[in-house]
Amino acid sequence: MRNIYGITLEELETYFIEHNIKKFKATQVFEWLYKKRVSSFDEMTNVGKDIISQLKQDFNIMKLKIVTKREDIDVVKYLFELSDHNRIEAVLMHHDYGNSLCISTQVGCNMGCSFCESGRLKKVRNLDTYEMVVQLLMVEADLNIRISHLVLMGIGEPFDNYENMISFINIINTPKGIDLGSRHITISTSGIVPKINEFADYPKQVNLAISLHAPNDKLRSKLMNINKAYPLDVLMKSVKDYIKKTNRRVTFEYIMLKDVNDSLECAEELCQLVYGINCYINLIPYNETSHISYKKSDHSSVLAFYDYLKKHNIAVTIRREFGSKVNAACGQLRSNYEEE
């Protein structure tokens, strides 16, 4: 039995047609789910009892369980439990431009980035589409807010769960549904080149972010196993092809690790690597964890790195720090909770 939150509007319309139900009823059901936020099929008062009975036969409307929630200034971190008792995380961040939610796409992660807590707990499975949708719905309901921006940057590699990720975007972007604008959605990938190439053909104007974190192959391969499969020359070609095809700017994420990748020599190499590319660099202060030896770069080093890029006409920002007190590093709350 499928979960109704994992069904796109087009799939639901097809389902209704196959069951000799008028197509517009799918829109009514979608509006009950995502506009009026009902918690049962029986609350859909303008949908016939025979249709309700059919829906109950083929779909469930279950959500997730909130295991724990931790709050700090402008940030709330959730640990959710799935129906098979696996656990995932989501993080809500209050910005001056709105409420941004970072969700998980997998239980665990196989990318094995050496600085990432998620990589210590290997991939168990992909999340179903509904398990991504429900993270958003439950955070909105719990905090009585609306999410204005969404990032797929939590536990897991989104491009390693590509089909479910695309269905998720289609559901939350549907005007009759959640209606979250595509330009307010960002997909973050460690650099799976074939999927970057495939994503270039996706018609919606969703943002693409690349986890870069190093300006040369030697260092990036040390930090990120994915670089051994898709080294920087291959990755950068795919990014350039993506930009040429979509005419969209790409974000390069760069976690600042003390005495690892935060030198001015690295800044110089980074300038050379991205020269001429329609992009900007997002410098990310590192959230330290008890299981990994990397340390956060000194503030002075971050500023010096930032200034070097600025002086060389590279668009760059420093991400605001969030949630050091609530285990905000990706996978950290899940790992610590399970150890406890």
- Catalytic residue list contains 131: no
- Catalytic residue list contains 330: yes
Instruction: State which amino acid sits at residue 293.
Output: S
Evaluate whether 333 touches 89 at the Cβ level (below 8 Å).
yes
Torsion of CA 48, 50, 55, 60, to 10 degrees: 90
User: In 3-state terms, what secondary structure has residue 149?
Assistant: strand
Residue 105 φ/ψ, nearest 5 degrees:
-120, -10
Evaluate whether 138 touches 160 at the Cβ level (below 8 Å).
no
Here the tokens at position 174 are 């549907």
Evaluate whether 89 touches 79 at the Cβ level (below 8 Å).
yes
Angstrom CA distances, 70 to 76, 77, 120, 208, 340, stand at 6, 5, 22, 29, 15
Instruction: State which amino acid sits at residue 84.
Output: D
Residue whose structure tokens are 């950290």: 332
Q: Which of these is catalytic: 102, 109, 113, 330?
A: 330
Nearest residue to 115 via CA among 324, 271, 296, 236: 296
- DSSP at 109: -
What's the CA gap between 136 and 149, in Å, rounded? 11
What's the CA gap between 294 and 291, in Å, rounded? 9
DSSP β-ladder status, 316-318 and 279-285:
parallel
Q: Which of these is catalytic: 13, 89, 131, 157?
A: 89
Residues tagged active-site: 89, 330
